[in-house]
Structure 1
Amino acid sequence: MDRLSNTIRPYAWGSTTAIAQLIGAEPTGEPQAEMWMGAHPGAPSRTERGPLNEVIDADPAGQLGSAAVAKFGPRLPFLLKLLAAGAPLSLQVHPNLQQAKEGYEAEEAKGVPLSAPDRNYKDANHKPELICALTPFDGLCGFRAPEDAAKLLEGLGVDSLKPYADLLRAHPEEAALREVLTAVLSADRDEMAQTVADATAAAQRIGGDYEPYAGIAHHYPGDPGVIAAMLLNYVQLQPGEALFLGAGVPHAYLNGLGVEIMANSDNVLRCGLTPKHVDVPELLRIVRFEATDPGVLRPEASPDGEEVYDTPIDEFRLSRFVLPEGAPAHDLTAATPQILLCTAGAVGAGELGLAPGQSAFVPAGEKAEVSGVGTIFRATVVA
């Protein structure tokens, strides 16, 4: 078992306090957005044996287990993070596996550099993800029913939003959502900036259900994504609740601290709330235009105390143990690779002691027993 030393990414939307408070450190004054735990080459965790990606590359079967290598290849198929949003992240979607392969191959054939700002596909993998709240956590997830979105837009009393509300009512669900998102993202930038300014002023005046959008507009004035965000479900997670984001589902995290796990990919198509490249035609090819319930997940407890967040994919499996005083040790030995992350209390993992924010990598088949008083998240795969 390896204690992990992890990189904190200083993205501009990150909270200046949340990760520092969790790990018991003094805030630096700079944004601390994500702590990465895993073998992603962009910021691999470090161990006493070397960077985790190099440790795995040197012995894939020994570190990951033969079943995981056979199913996912010689790499750790997930990335675990602490995510601390102090401002809204970009409104975005992720491709499914076939779309990712096609998109990656097409851009490779065109010779688009991986570092190019207009590159959409950094790899050939999909990126389903799960966010589990550690604090109250606000986000956007999936489309509202068109009628609900129309009422929300109309409630602002902004004349330039009326055509969008009319479109939402004029077509069947899929066509209505597609036409309105296309119109919003393709509108004249100056005209849309004025629409967003008028909508922001109205949202600030009305408050209530409109407060989240006034907050979004504060960070991204004039951005078409402010209007696009009103087409989506607004979700407030309580600690321990989670959201699963599948392929094609538009979403954005707005505020809060959580544990995030995802397939090991960088593929993102952006809809707005960002200064980065927005490829509208490709985005419209990827988005699933259907109204959905956000589907808030609550963990399912098993007899041994493991609380599992059930998802429909195999690249990752996230669970947690909430360990009370006097609880017996739990044997987590498995034939698959694991990362253990403490988020509260003091937890023993094998011979390691883990405090909040500390983590460990457990190679496949290695004895893994946890005990103590606190909360520990377990990330692994289904192989």
Structure 2
Amino acid sequence: MPPEILVNPVRRYAWGSTRALAGFLGAEPTGEPQAELWMGAHPGSPSLVDRGAGPQPLDRLIAADPLPELGPSVLARFGPQLPFLAKVLAVGRALSVQVHPSTEQAEAGFAEEEARGVPLDAPDRNYRDRNHKPEMVCALDDFDALCGFRPCTETAELLDALGVPALDRWVRTLRTAPEPEALRTVLAEALADGHGGGTTRAVAAALPGAASAAAAAGSPHHAALAACAAVASDYPGDPGIIAALLLNHVRLRPGQALYLGAGVPHAYLGGLGVEVMANSDNVLRCGLTPKHVDVPELLRVVGFRSTAPDLIDPRPVPGAVGEEAYPAPVDEFTLTRHTLTDADPDGVTSQGVGDRGPQILLCVSGEADLLAADGGRLRLTRGQSAYLPAAAARSRVVSDGAVLFRVGVRPVSPG
């Protein structure tokens, strides 16, 4: 089985950039938001592969004959499905504040909704599969995000700086209650009140001006306040703005990554990045979205504890020229970045033979040639990706100046 070029779907969401993804793909902007380029075999938007009979969805090809596609180890661990999903994100304005479930929560939630007969495509469905959704995003340019609860005392200082009297009760709660209780109380009250049409919407409506003024006044929380001011302007009156105020603000440098595990609330605010995750589409939303918000289920899934953003800088791979890894504590995916130069005559080499598992290669800069052992050749340009089935013969990618990301599956540890 040779490596194959993927034809990847573009997902259009209101938060997407009107120019960034088109520019990345070398296409003319359509004038409409383009948010995500999906690379993988998720049944919601699978990539297409042409093996001589016309383009076929990758998920169907894997289901029809999973062993050569996945290899015996991946098939035994994850079943007949590609365990990861890769994306390019083009964030023009804030995504919804959201959280992802653990495997146990996803399995229970999926079973409960199946038992109630909720259609998989129903807009009020929470669980569209049984999988957890750990994810990692690696910035291609400056990338802004909100991630994890800030310590309660710091959030109380930030809310104080806004000078909005209606926030005073939550400031007191954050300063006096134990951390899990304080975070749960503020989030639950803000969302319940806001989605019920109460005072939270009025508070949220006052936040754009208050956050801008506090940021201009030189608050130590200047960056977070400026980010919240932008979010509040994009989503006036949305109760999710209160949730955003509780979270750490982080700006990723190009090449820096952010890992997100189960239960960690987060939102992406702006930028272009490569994202890789377990093959799931399970999302519980807090706000900043017209989509379904299930407050009781959200509160069951969120981990109410302060956490620092899990930032990951690339680590050189020993013995490999121009290869850097982004380690993540999951089995479903690995992510490495390769900067190819003429000093590396072997280029990117597919890892081993036989049971190495499936891989996807994405070119983010320059041009590269993928050379198969049987003499076949694929040219990858910026924005293009290739799929390497587990049974594909050993191959290598060569170039002078291209940058590629490789997504694979964590191998089983010896012993």
TM over 0.5: yes
Residue equivalent to 1:133: 139
Is 1:321 aligned to 2:327, yes or no?
A: no
Distance 1:133 1:319 in 2: 13
Judge conservation of contact 2:260–2:310 (CA < 8 Å) in 1: no
- Is residue 98 from structure 1 mapped to residue 98 from structure 2 by the alignment? no
Task: Please state whether the residue corresponding to 1:47 is helix, strand or coil.
Answer: strand
- 1:289 is matched by which residue type in structure 2? F
Aligned to 2:6: 4
Q: Which residue of 2 aligns with 1:376?
A: 404
2:4/2:386 contact within 8 Å kept: yes
What is residue 230 of structure 1 aligned with on the other side?
245
Give the gaps of 5 or more residues in structure 1.
none
CA contact (8 A) 2:86 2:276 kept: yes
Q: Determine if contact 1:340/1:359 at 8 Å carries over to the other structure.
A: yes
Instruction: Provide the residue aligned with 2:80 in structure 1.
Output: 74
Any idea what the Cα deviations from partners look like across 1:74-97, whole Å, max 9, x if unmatched? 110111101100011000000000
Superposition deviation, residue 324 in structure 1: 2.6
Equivalent residue, structure 1, for 2:374: none
For residue 205 of structure 1, the aligned residue among 200, 213, 223 is 213
Secondary structure in structure 2 of the residue aligned to 1:165:
helix
Distance, in Å, in 2 between the alignment partners of 1:116 and 1:321 is: 40
Most deviating of 273-282 and 94-103: 273-282
1:26-62 deviation per Cα after TM superposition (whole angstroms, max 9, x unaligned): 1111111001111111111111122211221221011
1:254 and 2:254 aligned: no
Match of residue 332, structure 1, among 346, 350, 353: 350
State whether residues 35 and 83 of structure 1, in contact with CA within 8 Å, keep that contact through their aligned partners in structure 2.
yes
* Alignment check: 8 A CA contact 2:207 2:232 kept: no
Instruction: Supply the AA of the counterpart residue of 2:333.
Output: F
One-letter code of the match for 2:229? A
How many angstroms does 1:20 deviate by?
A: 1.4
SS at the partner of 2:162? coil
Q: In structure 2, how many angstroms separate the alpha carbons of the residues matched to 1:197 and 1:270?
A: 20
Partner of 1:173: 179
SS of residue in 2 equivalent to 1:22: helix
- For 1:333 and 1:131, the matched residues in 2 are separated by 23
| Contact 2:99/2:283 (8 A) holds in 1 | yes
Contact 1:131/1:258 (<8 A) preserved? yes
Question: Does the Cα contact within 8 Å between 1:13 and 1:86 map onto a contact in 2?
Answer: yes
* Deviation, structure 1 residue 325: 4.0
Paired residue for 1:291, among 306, 311, 321? 306
Aligned residues: 383
Return the match for 2:381 from 347, 355, 366: 355
C-alpha contact 1:129 1:244 (8 A) present in aligned 2: yes
Tell me the amino acid that sits aligned with residue 89 of structure 1: L
The residue type paired with residue 11 of structure 1 is Y
1:274 to 267, 275, 289: 289
Instruction: Return the alpha-carbon distance in structure 2 between the equivalents of residues 241 and 271 of structure 1.
Output: 26
SS at match of 2:310: coil
Q: C-alpha root-mean-square deviation of aligned residues, in Å?
A: 1.2
Please give the alpha-carbon distance, in whole angstroms, between the structure 2 residues aligned to 1:276 and 1:3. 34
CA distance in 2, matches of 1:331, 1:123: 34
AA aligned to 2:115 is: A
In the alignment, structure 1 residue 192 sits paired with structure 2 residue 200: yes
Aligned to 1:143: 149
Following the alignment from structure 2 to structure 1, what is the Cα–Cα distance between the partners of residues 242 and 7? 40
> Alignment partner of 2:307: what SS?
coil
Q: Please list the CA deviations of residues 192-242 of structure 1 after superposition, one character each: whole Å capped at 9, or x if unmatched.
A: 111112222111223333111111011111011111101000010011001
8 Å Cα contact 1:362/1:368 also seen in 2: no
- Return the letter of the residue paired with 1:121: Y
Moved more, 318-327 or 127-136: 318-327
Which residue matches 1:35? 37
More displaced, 166-175 or 153-162?
166-175
| One-letter code aligned to 1:304 | A
Task: State the alpha-carbon separation in 1 of the partners of residues 351 and 161 from structure 2.
Answer: 55
Q: 1:145-164, aligned counterparts within 5 Å?
A: 145-164=151-170
Task: Among all aligned residue pairs of Structure 1 and Structure 2, give the percentage whose two residues are the same amino acid.
Answer: 53
- Structure 1 Cα separation of the partners of residues 11 and 292 of structure 2: 20
For 2:336, the aligned partner's letter is: S
Match 1:22 to one of 21, 24, 30: 24
Question: Could you tell which deviates more after superposition, 301-310 or 335-344?
Answer: 301-310
Alpha-carbon distance between aligned partners in 2 of 1:115 and 1:360, rounded to the nearest angstrom: 29
Which residue of the partner structure matches residue 56 of structure 1?
62
User: Paired residue for 2:94?
Assistant: 88
Measured against aligned partners, the alpha-carbon deviations of 1:350-379 in whole angstroms (never above 9, x if no partner) come to 211111100000011422201102110000
Give the match for residue 218 of structure 2. none
The CA distance in 1 between the partners of 2:147 and 2:35, in whole Å, is: 20
2:384 counterpart letter in structure 1: Q
Alignment TM-score, normalising by the size of structure 2 = 0.90
The aligned residue for residue 115 of structure 2 is 109
- With structure 1 as the length reference, what TM-score do the two structures score? 0.98
196-205 or 290-299: which moved more? 196-205
Match of 1:304 in 2: 320
